[in-house]
Amino acid sequence: MAPAPPPTPAAAELAQEVRKRVESTAERPAADQAEAAPQKPLEDLPEIRKHRAWLVAKVAKKFQSETTVQTPEVGSKIEEFASVIGILHGLLSSLPELDPSDDVSRTALLALLPKEHPTRKATTHAAALASARANYVLNLETARREDLPIQENGALGPIGDRLVDYDEDGAAQERTVVKVGAGKLWRNDEAKSPVDTTDSVTHHTGPGAEIFVVGLGGDIHMASHRIGKFHHSSLLGGKPVAMAGEIKATQGKINWISNKSGHYLPTVLQLQQFLHHLGKDVPLDFPIREMGALSVPDGTLAQDFVEGRSSTGRADKVQGHDHRKSQALIPVWIELITPAGVEEVMEANGWVLTPPGRHWRVTKKGTKDVVPGKDVRQALKAAHPDKRPVIGDEEM
């Protein structure tokens, strides 16, 4: 049987449905759902808070020629995405023709989708049809926002000449700068408008989010992601960064932040480093979305993540930014100024450095009192102001 294709919603209807779905996942605080108060002009807000990164990430080697040669990964991801749209298109024709009680046929149809696709989890006919419809609409809109040549039936146009663009000049990079003040994110545009990602897109999340990177001086850059055209690496011309990920924001307020970046592969510690710095200007009252193996429960608030949480959500300073940073930097200081140099700083402050069993420990001499990691780092910096500990090469 060759079922007729389903009716495709008009462009206006499609856009309206997508917006409703995107806004429904905004997780906005109640205060933000009320009529927005007049925004304070950006001219009255502080400039970029400078921050010299000590933890640096470089673009993965496999992407370092992406401006001239399309990586196989890009082509395969676009083809897979088009295939899913095509399967969903077919499901919207086939599912309505099934007997709702025919679980075997429904399961066989849903098995055409990738194993982890959410529609495969549907356990009823109505749920499967609703999920297929929702994901078809979102995927088709994602393709439109990413300028992907994918038709409504999933047919894929030519993508061989789709190469990644880099913002290599200062003017281009200035256009993506985001400034922070009054607890919000602000565009670097003429209107100085609050960041709102509702009309943006990333290939991973779909409509409603943007990719971001943080430069080595603390500058934040944001934009929509277009697979094969504009990636995390595009924002600063392929240069090393302090952090990369995705952000969802509504009227300047952050809804969530993740460390999703296949180009820079930021670690848990890099995410904590960024949030610790961001928290000086923005309330860390939003959830994080951690990629890879989760070190904390999904939905953990950013402030709790920075302070330290175990995999079960229990408060645990050992997993916090301050402890992790000290554990990472003490070996770097030993390499920079030699073990004797570090010991000299410890002795001058009346401290004892214990080599790691599981962790490096600095205690007050003659006691078991642990010295705060920040105090140890400040003492080392004060004793050797000409030294700069950095993890990760800054030069390409």
Q: Is residue 23 part of a domain?
A: no
Domain of residue 88 covers 72-145
Residue 183 lies in a domain: yes
Give the phi and the psi of residue 340 in degrees, each rounded to 5: -65, -35
Question: What pLDDT is attached to residue 266?
Answer: 92
Q: Are residues 93 and 52 in the same domain?
A: no
* Whether residues 103 and 184 fall in one domain: no
Give the per-residue pLDDT at 371. Answer: 94
- Residues in the chain with pLDDT values less than 70: 1-52, 292-294, 393-396
Is residue 314 in a domain? no
Q: Do the domain assignments include residue 21?
A: no
Looking at the structure, tell me whether residues 206 and 85 fall in a common domain: no
Question: What pLDDT score does 358 carry?
Answer: 79
In this structure, which amino acid lies at residue 383? Answer: A
User: Are 77 and 101 part of one and the same domain?
Assistant: yes
* 32, part of any domain: no
Whether 122 is covered by a domain: the verdict is yes
Give the model confidence (pLDDT) of 139-153 as tens digits.
999 999 999 999 999
Question: Do 140 and 177 fall into the same domain?
Answer: no
Q: Are residues 325 and 367 in the same domain?
A: yes
pTM (predicted TM-score): 0.86
pLDDT in tens, 58-110: 999 999 899 999 999 999 999 999 999 999 999 999 999 999 999 999 999 99
Q: What is the pLDDT of residue 297?
A: 86
Statement to judge: residues 170 and 252 lie in one domain = yes
Q: How many domains does the chain have?
A: 3
Q: Are residues 132 and 168 in the same domain?
A: no
98 and 203 housed in the same domain: no
Task: Spell out the SS3 assignment of the chain.
Answer: CCCCCCCCCCHHHHHHHHHHHHHHCCCCCHHHHCCCCCCCCHHHCCCCCCCCCCECECCCHHHCCCCCCCCHHHHHHHHHHHHHHHHHHHHHHHHHHCCCCCHHHHHHHHCCCCCCCHHHHCCCHHHHHHHHHHHHHHHHHHHHHCCCCECCCCCECCCCCCCCCCCCCHHHHHHCEEEEECCEEEECCCCCCECCCCCCEECCCEECCEEEEECCCCCEEEECCECCCECHHHHCCCCCECEEEEEEEECCEEEEEECCCCCCCCCHHHHHHHHHHHCCCCCCCCEEECCCCCCCCCCCEHHHHHHCECCCCCECHHHCHHHHHHHHHHHHHHHHHHHHHHHHHHHHCCEEEECCCCCCEEEECCCCCECCHHHHHHHHHHHCCCCCCCECCCCC
pLDDT value of position 352: 96
261 domain-assigned: yes
